[in-house]
Structure 1
Amino acid sequence: MVEAPKQFSVLGLPIHLLDDYDHWLGTRLLQRVGSHVVTLNAEMAIQAEHNDALAGIIRKADLVIPDGSGVILYLWLQGQRGRRCPGIELAESVLRQAGELGKSCPVVFYGGSPGVAQKARQVWQDKLPELAIAGIEHGYLSPEEEQKFKQMLKDQQPGLILVGLGVPRQELWIAQNRHLCPQATWIGVGGSFDIWAGIKTRAPVWLRENHLEWLYRLYQEPWRWRRMMALPQFALKAIGQRLA
């Protein structure tokens, strides 16, 4: 059994500090130790201040990774060493590890617009022919379709479930349904299916390395500007905590 990672508080929310998130989570995947992974960024942290249910779920998660540059800034201001761990990269690493396990670790994709998860599945199946993808569903199921999907999860007991419903919906959905597959690794992957399917692209590496991936996302999705207002709010809170 792997040890619990070191934990630090970011605006009252936990963040786990590890040198190798991939290995820690991959070991739990191999051992079939149920895990809920939350990819914390500034936007989610600000949402959690006004959403008690989301905050409670983050506090109960088995692994909370520093997904956003704002979280890394907060840690730096508090004298903590941490490296950014983008959720999409962690999910890709875990998918590769699931591929090595083959049929003993079935994978499920849930979320995105109709057809997107199917395209993402084909991309991954071409990359990893041994990857056992047990189920694919988009994120706009009717109540009846969702019940059938949940029954499939219960029957199939996949080892890895990637949920791309956006924040906070994916976190709430995982918390409500995790009991269906208690030994699975559950990860909220946001818009990762869109990127894997080729519908959207990630920021160039130089933008990522300079902590400006948020700016590229705003360029791709200008309608997000209201949500991006959480970034300066978070930065001010981080600086205020440091001064205090």
Structure 2
Amino acid sequence: MSKAPKLFSVLGLPVHLIDDYSGWLRSRLKQGIGTHVVTLNAEMAMQAERNAALAKVIRQAELAIPDGAGVVLYLRLFRQRIKRCPGIELAESLLSEGKARVFLYGGAPGVAEAAAAVWQQQVPGLNIVGTQHGYTSPAEVEELQQKIKQLQPQLILVGLGVPRQELWIAQHRYLSPQATWIGVGGSFDIWAGVKSRAPAWLADNHLEWLYRLYQEPWRWRRMLALPKFAWKALIYRLTQRSQIGQQLP
């Protein structure tokens, strides 16, 4: 059995502290233990303050990883020096193994299919059992649910954006209860070549958000969550409200 990781509270939300997130997930995949992976960043944390349903889903997830630079810096305020674990890289590490039945859901029409084609070229034998874009009609939603239930994918990547993907996963895990479900945001766009990731030097200096804003200037209002998160992090640090050492049930 995979060992239960320690929890650390980030503004009242869990982050799990593991040296090897990919290895921990591979173990659960092999054992058929259903897992919801939440990729926590500052923007999601601030949304959860206003969205009780999102906060509940994050707290119930079996794995919440430190996806955002803000979360990593928050952990360092409390002397928890853990590396950032971008959700896209975690998903890539699982896809690269080529050992799971995979389903991709989300993105604009054609994007998930293009991303699947790229991965199947990179990893011969990778078994992508299905794809579905995120602009689904009621009839397509019903068909999608039946398809997942029938195919029983082991790794389901959902790229619907926050908080839609987290809420959708929580509501539909019963369709394939032994699967690992990961909300991957805009990862399909990157894999399909529609968008690009920030250069490594920006990511290494916690400035990936700046490159994202450059690519998508309409996101500027959402980026206001970052200074709010930083302010709240300082308040929490002063009041010592975070706790470490809790274990998953």
The 1-side partners of 2:220 and 2:61 are apart by 28
Summarize the alignment of residues 202-213 of structure 1 with structure 2, pairs less than 5 Å apart. 202-213=197-208
1:72 maps to amino acid: V
* Residue matched to 2:69: 69
Summarize the alignment of residues 60-99 of structure 1 with structure 2, pairs less than 5 Å apart. 60-97=60-97, 99=98
Deviations 1:122-165 (A, max 9, x none): 10010012100101000001011110110011011010000000
The 2-side partners of 1:10 and 1:240 are apart by 12
2:103 maps to amino acid: V
SS of 2:29 mapped into structure 1: helix
| Aligned counterpart in structure 2 of residue 232 of structure 1, from 212, 227, 230 | 227
Residue 46 of structure 1 and its aligned partner are, at CA, apart by 0.2
The 2-side partners of 1:240 and 1:96 are apart by 41
**Does structure 1 residue 191 correspond to structure 2 residue 186?**
yes
Summarize the alignment of residues 140-155 of structure 1 with structure 2, pairs less than 5 Å apart. 140-155=135-150
* Residue matched to 1:243: 238
1:13 maps to amino acid: L
* Residue matched to 1:161: 156
* Residue matched to 2:128: 133
Query: Over aligned residue pairs, what C-alpha RMSD do you find?
Result: 0.7
**Does structure 1 residue 113 correspond to structure 2 residue 113?**
no
* Residue matched to 1:42: 42
SS of 1:108 mapped into structure 2: strand
**4+ residue segments displaced more than 6 Å:** none
| Aligned counterpart in structure 2 of residue 173 of structure 1, from 153, 168, 175 | 168
SS of 1:134 mapped into structure 2: strand
* Residue matched to 1:55: 55
**Does structure 1 residue 26 correspond to structure 2 residue 26?**
yes
Deviations 1:73-124 (A, max 9, x none): 1111122221100010000001123x0x2xxx31000000000001101100
The 1-side partners of 2:196 and 2:91 are apart by 16
The 1-side partners of 2:179 and 2:95 are apart by 13
Calculate the TM-score normalised by the size of structure 1.
Answer: 0.97
The 1-side partners of 2:194 and 2:71 are apart by 27
Calculate the TM-score normalised by the size of structure 2.
Answer: 0.95
Residue 64 of structure 1 and its aligned partner are, at CA, apart by 0.2
Percent identical pairs in the alignment equals 68
SS of 1:126 mapped into structure 2: helix
The 1-side partners of 2:136 and 2:130 are apart by 14
Deviations 1:44-72 (A, max 9, x none): 00000000000000000010000001001
2:141 maps to amino acid: E
* Residue matched to 2:214: 219
SS of 1:9 mapped into structure 2: strand
Which blocks of at least 5 consecutive residues in structure 1 are unaligned? Answer: none
